[in-house]
Amino acid sequence: MTSFRTPMLGIRKRIDYRCLFTFGESCFNYYGCYVTLCVYKVTIKIKITSMSLTASHRIESVQDPIIPIVGQWISENPGTVSLGQGIVWYGPPAQIEQGIAEFNQNPDNHVYKAVHGIPQLLSVIERKLELDNQIKPAGNRKVVVTAGGNLAFSNAVFAIADPGDEFILSVPFYFNHEMAISMANCKSVLVATDENYQLDLRAIEASVGPKTKAVVTVSPGNPTGVVLSTESLIAVNKLCKRMGIFHIHDEAYEYFHYGDSEQFSPASVEGSEPHTISLYSLSKSFGFASWRIGYMLIPNALFHAILKIQDTQLICAPVISQFAAVAAMRAGRKWCYQQQETIRESRSIVVSALDEITDICTYPKSMGAFYFYLKINTEISSIDVCERLIKEYGVAVIPGVTFGSSDGTYLRIAYGAMTPESAGQAIQRFVSGITAIVKD
């Protein structure tokens, strides 16, 4: 017995080898319980004996999302505190109530709206891009509102790639990017970073091949929190222009910076318009995780393709969320910075605790987002370490294997959802747990 996929039905069917060979036309026919294959004018008549209705090989090959797995372990161990999921401690600004009230005033808002976003939100985004990112969206670029940053990335992948095409990701990568690439039947080409998780420009250039469609960068980074240097982002953008490929840049954590660190947007580089795709999200900066609003800035040449994709997958981002987003964005980045004072305090507590176990773990003190990416001095796998931390010590983190780190044991710590008090409790559990596990 073996498995066979019929192109007509897209269903794997279990078949046997009782076949009738005859000469016939070059064709493929399906007759009820039989499949007739004609290859080089030899007809193979195969009887189908049973059917297997399962998920596609394409989806089965995609890694399982780690957050639900860790969430299950947490639910099975009540009292666990989480340094796992990348969310913030605060919700949206109070001003969104005005946006919701405006939405409710017009019954017409309960029907579908423009695929790429309502005019009010598009206008606010364009002003924000010009003021905060030094990008002029008018002219050769378009803004498309999406249901979060992940959908924006998926839109970009489907718009520019065919099955078998390649995307260059620097390791550690954001796992949902790698998953979206796999779902599109494309390939992630993985490139190592340096010891501080900065880009290796020579390795990136050496990885560009005939099937490369884009280089993907994220700054500040997930899972590392690292802010990529302006010089490296400019270099990647110019490399993509020279090689005739796209530069996809994710700026979901654009407002989360510490010390002298500043945000830089590659789309602000002169001449970047035709090949640069920029992705943004309100989930982190405005506490909008469940409202599902993100947006992308794309070359004009991709606008029709993106509309086609989003109309099929989503139609439009939730309209009530778009009205809320207008009000939130009018509060501006100043409001975001005010909420982040708590995150800064939590960050200091986490750093102080980690500095006590430098014999057990090493990490660069990244200056963005709300993550630290630790390399643990142990041969125990990252997934096993995470499971033990939850079940034995009541603290959750995320294993590095899901971010593509295979050369050791890595863990991501997220402190954005913490108040200073809860951050202190969580990091002390982590320090105690990881010390015991490593020295066991």
Nearest residue to 227 (alpha-carbon basis) of 263, 185, 203, 194: 263
pLDDT computed for residue 105 by the predictor: 96
The b-or-e profile of 298-336 (16+ CB within 10 A means b, else e) is: bbeebbeebbebbeeeeebbebbbbbbbbbbbbbbbebb
Nearest residue to 84 (alpha-carbon basis) of 365, 371, 388, 421: 371
The 3-state DSSP class for residue 121 equals: helix
Backbone angles phi, psi at 65, to 5 degrees: -65, 130
- AA letter at 17: Y
- Name the pLDDT band for 99 (thresholds 50, 70, 90): very high
Enumerate residues 6+ apart whose C-beta is below 8 A from 354: 361, 363, 372, 374, 427, 431
DSSP string, 307-328: HHHHHHHTSSS-HHHHHHHHHH
Strands 398-399 and 409-414: antiparallel
Asked if CATH classification 3.30.390.10 holds for the domain at 96-332, the reply, yes or no, is no
Enumerate residues 6+ apart whose C-beta is below 8 A from 294: 145, 146, 147, 148, 149, 150, 151, 152, 252, 279, 280, 281, 282, 283
Strands 141-146 and 294-299: antiparallel
Distance, in Å, from the CA atom of 400 to the CA atom of 83, rounded to the nearest integer, reads 14
Average pLDDT (138-145) is 92
Is pLDDT at 128 greater than 80 in this prediction? yes
Nearest residue to 118 (alpha-carbon basis) of 325, 271, 333, 355: 325
**What would you measure as the largest C-alpha separation in the chain, in angstroms?**
78
pLDDT computed for residue 85 by the predictor: 87
Enumerate the CATH 3.90.1150.10 domain ranges in the chain, comma separated. 63-90+334-439
Enumerate the CATH 3.40.640.10 domain ranges in the chain, comma separated. 96-332
Write out the H or E segment, with its range, that includes residue 299: strand 294-299
Is pLDDT at 9 greater than 70 in this prediction? no
Q: Do 371 and 412 meet the contact criterion of CB atoms below 8 Å apart?
A: yes
Q: Which of 25-39, 207-221, 332-346 has the lowest mean pLDDT?
A: 25-39
Average pLDDT of every residue of the chain? 90
Positive or negative torsion for Cα 393, 397, 400, 402: positive
Distance, in Å, from the CA atom of 415 to the CA atom of 397, rounded to the nearest integer, reads 10
First-to-last alpha carbon distance for the chain, in angstroms, is 48
pLDDT computed for residue 382 by the predictor: 97
pLDDT computed for residue 65 by the predictor: 85
- Tell which wins on pLDDT, 12 or 274: 274
| pTM reported for the whole predicted model | 0.87
Secondary structure E strands in 147-219: 166-171, 187-192, 212-218
The 3-state DSSP class for residue 359 equals: coil
Task: Compute CA 255 distance to the chain's CA centroid, rounded to the nearest angstrom.
Answer: 17
Q: What is the pLDDT of residues 399-417, one digit of tens each?
A: 999 999 999 999 999 999 9
Backbone angles phi, psi at 181, to 5 degrees: -65, -45
Q: What is the pLDDT of residues 326-358, one digit of tens each?
A: 999 999 999 999 999 999 999 999 999 999 999
Q: Other C-beta atoms within 10 Å of 164: how many?
A: 10
Identify how many contiguous H helices and E strands the chain contains and give both numbers. 12, 18
Q: Do 122 and 148 meet the contact criterion of CB atoms below 8 Å apart?
A: no
- Name the pLDDT band for 172 (thresholds 50, 70, 90): very high
Distance, in Å, from the CA atom of 325 to the CA atom of 319, rounded to the nearest integer, reads 10
CATH pick for 63-90+334-439 out of 3.90.245.10, 3.90.1300.10, 3.90.1150.10, 1.10.3720.10: 3.90.1150.10
Task: Starting at the earlier edge strand, list the strands of the sheet with 361-362.
Answer: 361-362, 371-376, 409-414, 398-399
- Name the pLDDT band for 160 (thresholds 50, 70, 90): very high
